[in-house]
Amino acid sequence: MRFFTFFFAIALSCPAFGQAKWEIIQLGKISAYSNPLELKLRLSAAENPGAFDIRKEKYTLLVPDGVGAKTRCGLFIWINAGDAPTIPRAWEPVMTKHKLIFIGAHNSGNPRNVFDRFRLAIEAAVQLKQRYNVDPKRIYISGFSGGGRCASMLGVAYPDVFSGAMPFMGVNFYKDVTAQSGKKFRLNYIPHRELLAIAKKDSRYVLVTGTKDFNRINTQAVFAQGFKKEKFANAFYLEVPQLAHALPGPEWLEKGIGLLDGDKPITPPRQ
């Protein structure tokens, strides 16, 4: 397979460290990973990604207390369903505990062009690696609902950028899957076979749903008939009791991050 050449992202001015705070940042010149041809190759997309200028985009960033320029840390890249990159405030202590820098793009919700949503997340991962001492084994892509679906696709199509994915209440797959009820869910993309082999062997995936989530059947089917049937080495399923289509409490984020970091897996429910 022909890969595009690696690049050097424009260095960004660093914020003051030592106090966790939310701030708005912008990134530099777009990388080769977001090149339109690269996107099409990795996702087998028929559509052409439109014009995109990363320098006009804004992100919300949270650097946990205690994470400095030389601190080994991870990244938690967020794709929301809405245009504001919000997460529960109760999640912040979990990010701090695990030394995860949070970043989410503005105007990256479900109404946005999907290729833009992909590129916003890819560039967050690629360019923050130039700014912080990031552990390449702890670069996680996540999101809620439609954002979770985007995250699940990027986690498979870009295993050389993201080491793991944790989609909440929404997940896509590259093959048709059928739920126990007989309902079928069609494929959403086709990853490049060489990258897929890397994803199956090295990446980690945590699919999160709730017992009352309307996407629960979809998530169950993708986990059992998708990730497990296709023999992904590290795919896990978390189901939050009594939770509908919403984000769970911090204890479930903690469990998910633990699985992404390589903790002992939780036995999934029978399918």
Q: Give the model confidence (pLDDT) of 109-125 as tens digits.
A: 999 999 999 999 999 99
* pLDDT in the model for residue 270: 40
* pLDDT in the model for residue 31: 96
Average pLDDT over residues 218-238: 98
Indicate the average pLDDT of the chain: 90
pLDDT over 90 at 4, yes or no: no
Q: Return d(Cα 248, Cα 168) in angstroms, integer.
A: 9
pLDDT over 60 at 22, yes or no: yes
pLDDT over 60 at 268, yes or no: no
Average pLDDT over residues 95-101: 96
> pLDDT tier at 69 (50, 70, 90 boundaries)?
confident
Which tokens in the block code for residue 23?
């701030």
Average pLDDT over residues 42-69: 94
Average pLDDT over residues 239-268: 88
pLDDT over 50 at 255, yes or no: yes
* pLDDT in the model for residue 256: 98
- Residues 162-172: tens digit of each pLDDT: 999 999 999 99
Average pLDDT over residues 52-62: 96
pLDDT over 50 at 200, yes or no: yes
